Structure 1
Amino acid sequence: MQRVGNGKDRRHSRSQRLLKQSFAELMREKGFTAMTVKDIADRADVNRGTFYEHFPDKFALLEQSIRDKFIQLLEREIPPDYGWHPEHIRVLVQTVLEHVRTLYGRCSPIDTVNPLFEYSVRDELANLLRRWLGQFRADRPDWPVSVDTMALMTSWSIFGAAVAWSKGYEEISVTEMTDRILTVLTEGTVRFAGDPSADQIR
């Protein structure tokens, strides 16, 4: 029985890998809007029923492909022992900036690709930040804001700044933009506003 299960799992993994590969090829050749589920299935040499066993539609396949690419990027650039530390945050922010700058401009602002790209990257970024921030929960049980809320707000801050910067909000280098985002994340607005109690917070 175990062998049958393993064989089914391998076939499942192989079909999904072929579908993702076909999708990537068709994205380069035809673009997302022009391709159909039949195109993807034909290129992968599977029937449409097999496609729907893995994905409900081509939008789900697009979302998964975006997530996979971003996760692979994070795994390549962010060592597993990293956490909420200024230098580690710097690496994360710069990675997101460069990723958004590279990919965001390839999609038309009215294309459905952009919302899916934004949602997928932001969600995976929040997942990583949730793990990092969760390390402090035992040390700060009195902190009034939940880890989920902090991760969500921080992911929006990083990604939103990256999108604005990639669109030419300001003509500054990735290093300078990274420094600005890092300052906001690590020092916040309290010191900027000149609150005399800010030094006690640090």
Structure 2
Amino acid sequence: MTTPANENDPRVKRTRQLLLQAFISLLEEGRTIHSIRVADITERATVNRATFYAHFEDKYALLEVWMREKFHHALESQLPATSTLQMSTLRQLLLAVFDFLALWQYHLKPADRQFVPFFEVALQQELQEVFLHWLNQAPSLVPICQETVETTAQVISWAIFGPAVQWSRGDRTITKDMMVQHVLAVVIAGLSPVVTVT
């Protein structure tokens, strides 16, 4: 994704939000992701193509930002901004991930299924950011380097995301709460060499 000169500039934020809102409004009208073109987005946002490309490399970069923001807001609504790495917040996080993916699978249009792998990577990266933030704040059992923290965040995010994706796609013979309990046990075990979760 192309990085604007100053991401903190209110005008840059407003334009990005305008482009995202234009895309969302097209989806709300029943358009599929596949059918929406950059020209449709810029026309709806009343900006030119050069402005779009100053903010996003292509439509897929906008899609990634949109999906990550959507997922971020879903997690934020379930977890306080001051959340730290604790058993209760881990459980809340897992429930939020399972709920989001189940709802997403339900609303996914057949024409947009080709974007599923792309979206899954974006969602996993957002989840990884949550863990990176938590791990950087958590007191560690032993001195650990940043590379270990980053690898742990990546591994744990996939340990949650993989089963949640499989469960959301399947027949769900195991309840969400039972799946969360199983995944939580694995996550706690995976974190134990690095941090203590209370």
Same fold (TM over 0.5): yes
Q: Which residue of 2 aligns with 1:70?
A: 71
Query: What is the aligned residue count?
Result: 181
Q: Which residue of 1 aligns with 2:155?
A: 153
Q: Which residue of 2 aligns with 1:194?
A: none
Q: Which residue of 2 aligns with 1:116?
A: 118
Q: Which residue of 1 aligns with 2:56?
A: 55
Q: CA 1:32–1:87 in 2, change beyond 3 Å: closer, same or farther? A: same
Q: CA RMSD in A?
A: 2.5
Q: TM-score, length-normalised on structure 1?
A: 0.80
Paired residues for 1:1-202 under 5 Å: 9-28=9-28, 29-105=30-106, 106-108=108-110, 111-136=113-138, 138-141=140-143, 146-168=148-170, 170-187=172-189
Counterpart amino acid of 2:31? K
Counterpart amino acid of 1:100? L
Deviations 1:73-128 (A, max 9, x none): 22221113322221111000000000011113415497442122111110111111
Q: Is the 8 A contact 2:34 2:111 kept in 1?
A: no
Q: Which structure 1 segments of 5+ residues have no match?
A: 1-5, 189-202
Q: TM-score, length-normalised on structure 2?
A: 0.81
Which structure would you say has the larger RCO, counting Cα contacts within 8 Å and 6 or more residues apart?
2
Counterpart amino acid of 2:48? N
Q: Which residue of 2 aligns with 1:196?
A: none
Bigger CA radius of gyration: 1
Q: Which structure 2 segments of 5+ residues have no match?
A: 1-5, 191-198
Paired with 1:54 and 1:173, the residues of 2 have a C-alpha distance of 42
Counterpart amino acid of 1:65? W
Q: Percent identity?
A: 35
| CA-CA distance at 1:137 after TM superposition | 5.7
